[in-house]
Chains A and B, each alone.
Chain A
Amino acid sequence: MGNSIEVKDLTLNFGSVSVLKNLNIDVQEGEFVVLLGPSGCGKSTLLNCLAGLLDISDGQIWIKGKNVTWAEPSERGIGMVFQSYALYPQMTVRGNLSFGLKNAKVPQAEIDKRIARAAEILQIQPLLDRKPAALSGGQRQRVAIGRALVRDVDVFLFDEPLSNLDAKLRSELRVEIKRLHNALGNTMVYVTHDQIEALTLADRIAVMKGGVIQQLAAPLEIYNRPSNLFVAGFLGSPSMNFLKGKTVDGGRAFQFGSTKIDLAGYEGGAVLERDQAILGVRPEHITVSTSPVSGPSMPAEVEIDEHLGADSLLWLKAEGTNMSVRVPVEGRLPPGTKVHLGLDIPKASLFDAKTEQRI
Chain B
Amino acid sequence: MADVAMHPALTGPRGAKPRRLLSPRNIVLYGTLIVVCMYYILPLWVMIMTSLKGMPEVRLGNIFAPPVEITFQPWVKAWSEACTGLNCDGLSRGFWNSVVITVPSVVVSILIASINGYALVNWRFRGSEVFFTILIFGSFIPYQVMLYPIVIGLREIGLYGSLWGLVIVHTIFGMPILTLLFRNYFSSVPEELFKAARVDGAGFWGIYFQIMLPMSLPIFVVALILQVTGIWNDFLFGVVFTKPELYPMTVQLNNIVNSVQGVKEYNVNMAATLLTGLVPLIVYFVSGKLFVRGIAAGAVKG
Give the interface of A toward B (CB within 8 A).
Answer: 48, 51-53, 72-74, 78-80, 82-84, 86-90, 99-100, 103-104, 147, 151, 159
Whether B199 lies near A51 (C-beta < 8 A) is: yes
CB contact list, B193-238 vs A, under 8 A: 193, 195-202, 206, 210-211, 214-215
> Hey, which chain A residues are within 8 Å of B210, CB to CB?
88, 99
Looking at the assembled complex, report how far the CB atom of A56 sits from the nearest CB atom of chain B, in whole angstroms.
16
- 28 residue pairs of the A-B complex, CB under 8 angstroms, read A51-B195, A51-B199, A52-B198, A72-B198, A72-B201, A73-B195, A73-B198, A73-B199, A73-B201, A74-B199, A79-B199, A80-B195, A80-B196, A82-B192, A82-B196, A84-B190, A86-B195, A88-B196, A88-B197, A88-B210, A90-B214, A99-B197, A99-B200, A103-B200, A103-B202, A103-B206, A104-B201, A147-B200
Alpha-carbon distance between A80 and B214 when the two chains are bound, in angstroms: 23
Chain A residues closer than 8 Å to B195, beta-carbon distance? 48, 51, 53, 73, 80, 82, 86
C-alpha spacing A84/B196, complex, angstroms: 11
B190 contacts A74, CB within 8 Å?
Answer: no
Contact of A86 among B193, B201, B202, B214 (CB under 8 A): B193
User: How close is A33's CB to chain B, nearest CB, in angstroms?
Assistant: 19
Chain A residues lying within 8 Å of B215, measured Cβ to Cβ, are 89-90
Across the interface, do B206 and A147 meet the contact criterion of CB distance under 8 Å?
no
User: What distance in Å separates the Cβ of B207 from its nearest Cβ neighbour in chain A?
Assistant: 10
Question: Is there contact, CB below 8 Å, between B190 and A86?
Answer: yes
Is B199 within 8 A of A99, CB to CB? Answer: no
Which residue of the partner chain, among A53, A84, A90, contacts B198 with CB atoms under 8 Å? A53
CB contacts (< 8 Å) of B206 on chain A: these are 103
When A and B form their complex, which 5 residue pairs have the shortest distance between CB atoms, in order from nearest?
A74-B201, A100-B200, A103-B201, A86-B192, A86-B196
Main secondary structure of the interface of B (DSSP, over half): helix
Contacts of A100 in B (CB 8 A): 199-201
* A73→B206 CA distance, assembly (Å): 15
Q: In chain A, what residue has the closest Cβ to B194?
A: A86
Q: How many A-B residue pairs have CB under 8 A?
A: 58
A78 to B199, CA, bound (A): 8
A162 to chain B, nearest CB (A): 15
Give the chain A neighbours of B196 by CB distance below 8 A. 80, 82, 86-88, 147
**A290–B168 Cα gap in the complex (Å)?**
90
Inter-chain contact B200/A74, CB cutoff 8 Å: yes
CB-defined contacts of B202 to chain A, threshold 8 Å: 99, 103
Measured CA separation A103–B202 after assembly (Å): 6
Shortest CB–CB separation between residue A315 and chain B, in angstroms?
A: 41
Residue of A nearest to B193 (CB): A86
Q: Which residues of B contact A73 (CB under 8 A)?
A: 195, 198-199, 201
Q: Which residues of B contact A88 (CB under 8 A)?
A: 193, 196-197, 210-211
Q: What residues of chain A lie closer than 8 Å to B193, measured between beta carbons?
A: 86, 88
CA distance A53 to B124 in the complex (A): 13
B126 to chain A, nearest CB (A): 12
B214 touches A84 (CB 8 A): no
CA distance A87 to B192 in the complex (A): 9
Q: How far is the CA of A151 from the CA of B196 in the complex (A)?
A: 12
Chain B residue with Cβ nearest A103 = B201
Within 8 A of A (CB), among B243-301: none
Q: How far is the CB of B219 from chain A (nearest CB, A)?
A: 14
